[in-house]
Amino acid sequence: MTEQTARQKAGELTREQVAEYLRANPDFFIGQDELLRSLTLPHDSGRAISLVERQVHLFREQRDTLRRELVELVSIARHNDRLFEKSKRLLMQVIEARNLQDMAAAIDDSIRGDFGLDAASVLLFSETGQLQSQGALHMVDAAAARERLGSLLEGERAVCGQFRENEREFLFPDRDEPIASVALVPLRHEGLVGVFAVGSCEPGYFDQSMGSLFLSYISDTLSRLLPPMLKRHGTGAPVTDLTAETGQG
């Protein structure tokens, strides 16, 4: 085979064929130090660099990306750990509450003090509404709740967002500074008995992308503790199961 023929055959190789060959033979450059040093690649700076330098550059980029991802994961883990501790403290106080006043105070103090939010509200639905508001705890008319909150009562998971003004006013009554952003989760235990809502005066604080795991833990506990506590203390305002009335569930 002449040199000219060899060059012709070499010229017939496409980039794809070369790339495919190198992928199939990743050890091709072993023992080819001189060839590696002679290969050059364009760099962001405009100068040509060797293949080895390019590989080192890529490895450093991958290392930096992995390091940033690790830092972010550690930050998320620490944030979740703090949320867990705050949720645990709140739930212990709620469980140990001797009466409705203690429970309402524990919820209000924890959400505003420990969690740093602007408002907390627990609305229990009743046909009589005879229980007066006690801190974060409110007994509301079941029909009014259906009218004002509508589709917010239909799901089982937390709903986050800015909500309509009439919904925010219903969830957080008698406030001098209006709530702008809300996270709400229905209280369900063998039926819908109320809602648990937390609010912020900052419009964009809660949005649909936020996780709600810890909020759901709190609401699950409240939905089991509050109805029997109301009955024990003889409020004369039985909790209404809206699911049974609306045919949901």
Instruction: Quote the longest CA-to-CA distance of the chain.
Output: 106
Matching CATH number, 69-246, of 3.40.50.300, 3.30.450.40, 3.30.1600.10, 3.60.15.10: 3.30.450.40
Place of tokens 């009554």: 173
C-alpha dist (Å) from residue 57 to 47, 50, 228: 14, 11, 65
Place of tokens 């190198």: 22
With a CB cutoff of 8 Å and minimum separation 6, the contacts of 174 are 133
**Mean pLDDT per segment of 10 residues, for the chain of length 249 residues?**
50 79 81 71 59 75 91 89 88 86 87 88 73 73 81 78 85 83 84 84 77 79 81 55 45
Full strand arrangement of the beta sheet holding 192-200: 137-141, 119-126, 192-200, 181-188, 159-161
Q: Where are the domains of the chain?
A: 69-246
Place of tokens 């883990």: 77
Q: What is the pLDDT of residue 123?
A: 86
pTM above 0.85, yes or no: no
Q: What is the pLDDT of residue 72?
A: 92
